[in-house]
Amino acid sequence: MTTMQVARLHAIGDPMRLEQVPVPEPRPTDVVVEVKACNFVPNLKNVLALYAEWFPFLPLPELPAVFGLDSAGVVSQVGSEVTGWSVGDRIYVNPALSCRACRACVAGEVQACPTYTFMAYFSFSADGQKLFDAYPYGGFAEYLTAPQGNLVRLPDSVTFEQGARFGYLGTAFSALRKGRVGPGSTVLIDGIGGTLGVGATLIALGLGATTILGTGRNADLLADVQALAPDRIQVLAAGDRPVADWVREQTDGLGADVLIDALAPDAPAQAMVDAVSGLRRGGIAVNIGGMMEPAPLNVLWMMTAGISLLGSLWFTTSEAQDMADLVGAGAIDLSVLENQVHRLDQVNEALDSLPARHGGFTNFIIAP
């Protein structure tokens, strides 16, 4: 096969065009991946259109471009200097690209790289186009190229559809690790019914968190989350009562050890402020939702109580591999995810009409 089908966006707001382009060739340390599943946000076109308003400092690739952030598939070709990977390996592609040469990259802190860029989505740098050009195809294509250092080996028990969810799951996994969550931990997940929130719940259960407290707006969805482990999960509908008071009632007055703030970017800042107030002394708040509104935090209280507030961006490939191995070992159960799969030639229909969604339990997939 010398050509492949892609869905390429030529202008924000326009439908993606199905086109034939050459199948990419790998550089010496790259692999070619046959895409089997790619996770997508159902309103991706609207999200892309709003990036200029929401995050003008995060540039998109030059159009036309092939999007598709989270891809899982099979290695179909390896570069001449690739080691440890073979044709036929089942993998997830971590789309996080970096220069691999700066002080941060050499130290293993790739998220701090000045050119940090998400393949086939957006960059954190004005120089991101160089990396978009180096890796021009995302998961809305039959094949893509990726650096060998960005590959995560999928256990046989992990489906391609589950693997394509690793972007959201890995983000939650890294945040929970930063919060040192394990046996004995009490975790508060703000926005527990959303995509990040459900993932954080499944992973917190797998890491051994003793108590998981969650807030959300949809009572039915909250009940479904609680049903995952009724003896370990308690939930509160937003607005029913002050979050901090409820959390302290559930923790003998102490407060939660860790807050995972998974609220959407357009959520009110006060919601996060209320949740932070529910932390115990020495507690850790980790934001992964990207709330945009400035938050009026009580910095003096945070200082005297030893409260830490962290922003957690994505995850490392090593963290994703640890997570994959925990899923493969049965510690993290992804069987509750409900896959809605669309063919590549259905991409515009999938993006134009928001399918029925069971909160964060629904896993939206394009399968080239």
Domain extent listing, the chain: 3-165+337-367, 171-311
- Residues composing the chain: 368
Residues 6+ apart with CB under 8 A from 202: 169, 228, 332, 333, 334, 336
Tokens representing residue 173 in the block: 């996994």
- Look at residue 355 in the predicted model and tell me its pLDDT: 65
CA angle 92, 97, 102 (to 5 degrees): 135
| pLDDT value at 329 more than 70 | yes
pLDDT digits (tens, 9 = 90+) for 266-286: 899 999 999 999 999 999 999
pLDDT digits (tens, 9 = 90+) for 117-127: 999 999 999 99
pTM of the full structure: 0.97
Q: Say if CB 40 and CB 88 are below 8 A apart.
A: no
Percent of the chain residues topping a pLDDT of 90: 90
- Distance, CA of 166 to CA of 199 (rounded, Å): 9
Quick one: average pLDDT of 48-54? 80
CATH, domain range 171-311? 3.40.50.720
- More confident call, 356 vs 167: 167
What's the mean per-residue pLDDT of the chain? Answer: 95
pLDDT digits (tens, 9 = 90+) for 223-238: 999 999 999 999 999 8
How is domain 3-165+337-367 classified at the CATH fold level? Quinone Oxidoreductase; Chain A, domain 1 (3.90.180)
- Look at residue 54 in the predicted model and tell me its pLDDT: 80
| pLDDT value at 354 more than 70 | no
